[in-house]
Amino acid sequence: MSVKVLSKGEATRERLLDLAEKAVLQKGFGATTIEELIAAAGLTKSGFFYHFRDKNDLAQALLRRYIDRHNDIIDDMFVRSSELTDDPLHGFLIGLKFFADLLADLPNTHPGCIVASFCYQDQQFSRDIRDLNAEGVRAWRARIQVRLQEIAKRYPPRPGVDIEALADMCTAIVEGGIILSRTLDEKEMLARQVMAYRNYVRLAFETREA
């Protein structure tokens, strides 16, 4: 997580993306106007179109940045947790605990997921963006599936446990948890859901000797 030195242009672009991300998560992409973004960024319309070809180009940049950042966060978490133990199950559970703590430490309710937001507005976007969205989800899935398969090698899963579904369930819980925490305005909801998922993983691979 190094702090890059940005040129003036890159800094403006990042500022626009920050403002756009916030607005899109609160109002949706269609209701986010270029006018409001440039007003907040202190820029003219021409300035905006210097950085982005059109609104669709903004969407693509937004999504790409979001996916890249979150892949880094996930990787970082699993690297840190696997340094603490050699046991894949133990390491995964520690990683999930890190993740839950991270979410619990957010000052407000989770701001929302760009992938989920775009999923519910996908007909506004070009094919590239929908593909990019799917690629993002597949990247998360792959990271989790690898770990669960490592675990399953050492610990036979309890009957009825579907490893692939269990991997996707992690993403589903996070996406669903974000929706619940936002809708109900319950800040603790998301971390609690991650911990509930963690408990399922624990039960799913629990050795049976009492």
Of 165, 173, 146, 163, give the one whose Cα is nearest residue 205.
163
Which of positions 29-48 make contact with DNA (CB under 7 A)? Answer: 32-36, 42-47
Q: Which positions from 138 through 197 interact with a copy of itself, judged by CB under 8 A?
A: 138, 158, 160-162, 165-166, 168-169, 171-177, 179-180, 182-185, 189, 192-193, 195-197
Residue in the block written with tokens 């021409």 = 46
Exactly one of 17, 20, 25, 51 binds DNA (CB under 7 A); which one?
A: 51
* Identity of the residue, 40 or 74, whose beta carbon is nearer to DNA in the bound complex: 40
How many Å apart are CA 204 and CA 160, to the nearest integer? Answer: 9
Is 10 an interacting residue with respect to DNA (CB under 7 A)? Answer: yes
Cα distance between residue 102 and residue 77, in whole Å: 10
Among 76, 58, 72, 74, residue whose Cα is nearest residue 14? 58
Q: For residues 85 and 104, what is the distance between their CA atoms, to the nearest angstrom? A: 24
Question: Interface residues for DNA in 13-32 (CB under 7 A)?
Answer: 13, 32
Closer CB to DNA, 8 or 208, in the complex: 8
Q: Which tokens is 11 given?
A: 């800094």
Stretch that binds DNA, among 52-60, 62-70, 79-87, 171-179 (CB under 7 A): 52-60
The residue (of 12 and 144) whose beta carbon lies closer to a copy of itself is 144
DSSP symbols for 93-120: HHHHHHHHHHHHT-SSS----HHHHHHT
Give whole-number Cα distances, 192 to 43, 97, 115, 200, in Å.
41, 10, 22, 13
Applying CB under 7 A, the residues found at the interface with DNA are 7-10, 12-13, 32-36, 42-47, 49-51, 53-56
Applying CB under 8 A, the residues found at the interface with a copy of itself are 25-32, 112, 115-117, 119-124, 133-134, 137-138, 158, 160-162, 165-166, 168-169, 171-177, 179-180, 182-185, 189, 192-193, 195-197, 199-200, 202-204, 208, 210
